[in-house]
Amino acid sequence: MSVNERLEYALELIKKAGDIALKYYGDDLKIDYKGVDDPVTAADMAVSDFLEEEIPKKFADDGILSEESFKQSDVKNLREKKYVWIIDPLDGTKEFIARNGEFAIMIGLCEDKQPVMGVVYQVAKNWIFYGSKDGGAYWLDNGAKKDLRVDSSFDKDDLTITVSRSHRPKVVDKMMDELKIEKEFVTGSVGLKISVVATGRADFYYHPSGYAKEWDSCAPQAILEAAGGIMTDIFGNQLGYLKDDVLQKEGFLAASLGVHQYILENVKAELD
């Protein structure tokens, strides 16, 4: 079965996963912590369990790497798979807990360790961003389908950067000051920030932290690249998947081709 068949199934599943997440959205959530400042809720686990149960029903030979069930020891076997689904059941758990709507469910797919398909669902707004290699990228706005195509032209004196609501790296403030960038689009969720770039609401996203993981980047990278954009680490190197360590240690830069090159040429890359 093809990438596009997997995309159709992902679109079907992600809507059902959104319904599961919303069952927890108004509740008094029990919050646990996987690490310092790294919360997890019953919603994260319920969505992960659902997707991990449903995907093999149709694609039994595919691998699955999900944030909530991840074991580094599984990666070696996953590398042997042609297709691996990389899932973030709830990207923006802090925003989910705050109930500000800025969270997403993300389903990505790697073929031979490269992202080729992605779906990002902003559940609270009923917005679905999706795309696949050679299949284009789209935005379902409450059912209304819009084509996504990143514009490579830009005005360096009128750039908009999308930034995090919950964490503001000093490196980003320094870069904005140096490049005289005054406009910013603030939102939670890595996937939503990259979707903001894919939809043209911001020109780029600069993530100078080495703590994001493969499930943070896979789906949105596939969507952005299907829309004609590019996503690399902040030094311009290709992002890796199914690595010995799932951290994206050199951060990432998501933009149009033109803005991407401009940032690489005018910003001294440094991690926060």
Q: What percent of the chain is predicted at pLDDT more than 70? A: 97
Closest CA to 253 of 221, 223, 222, 227: 221
pLDDT exceeds 80 at position 29: no
Mean pLDDT of 63-80: 92
Euclidean distance between CA atoms 190 and 91, whole angstroms:
7
Q: Residue with structure tokens 């297709």?
A: 83
Q: Are 67 and 213 in contact (CB under 8 A)?
A: yes
Going from the N-terminus, what domains does the chain have, and what CATH number goes with each? 3-148 (3.30.540.10), 160-266 (3.40.190.80)
Strands 160-164 and 204-207: parallel
Statement: residue 20 has pLDDT above 90:
yes
Predicted confidence (pLDDT) at residue 239 exceeds the cutoff of 80: yes
Average pLDDT over residues 200-224: 97
Q: Name which of 75, 46, 64 is nearest 10 in CA terms.
A: 64
pLDDT of amino acid 180: 97
H-helix segments, 59-189: 75-78, 93-98, 170-179
* Tens digits of residue pLDDT in 124-171: 999 999 999 999 999 999 999 999 999 989 999 999 999 998 788 899
Please check the confidence at residue 36 and state whether its pLDDT lies above 70: no
Residue type, 19: D
State yes or no: pLDDT of 86 exceeds 70. yes
What average pLDDT does this structure show over 94-111?
A: 94
